């Protein structure tokens, strides 16, 4: 695996810093209880937060960047009060 990574970096002239800038590689996903509150805590500590929050019926997603420029996804699950089945 390390050989393939070295070949990829050499082929595209990518250094570790360039990979971090592009956000390529591994992305970490973290589940949080309250996305809005957690983002406010991170913002108050100077963490880089992407502008958009994606919401859908099962949850909310937001993205931040760590100190190396790697993208980290934050996810708040929204639990449905509806039953997923029909009683007969």
Write out pLDDT tens, residues 10-38: 555 545 555 555 555 677 899 999 999 99
Question: With b meaning 16 or more CB within 10 Å and e meaning fewer, what string describes 25-64?
Answer: eeeeeeebeebeebbeebeeeeeebeeeeeeeeeebebbb
Domain ranges for the chain: 27-77
Q: Is 51 helix (H, G, I), strand (E, B) or coil?
A: strand
Considering the domain 27-77 in this protein, what is its CATH number?
Answer: 3.30.720.110
Write out pLDDT tens, residues 55-78: 988 899 999 998 888 889 999 998
Q: Please state the pTM of the whole predicted model.
A: 0.61
């Amino acid at each position: 695996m390390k050989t393939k990574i070295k070949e990829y970096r050499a082929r595209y002239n990518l250094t570790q810093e360039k990979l971090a800038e592009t956000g390529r590689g591994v992305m970490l996903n973290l589940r949080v209880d309250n996305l809005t509150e957690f983002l406010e805590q991170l913002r108050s500590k100077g963490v880089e937060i992407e502008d958009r929050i994606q919401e859908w019926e099962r949850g909310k997603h937001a993205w931040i960047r760590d100190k190396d420029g790697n993208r980290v996804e934050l996810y708040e699950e929204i639990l449905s009060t509806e039953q997923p089945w029909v009683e007969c």
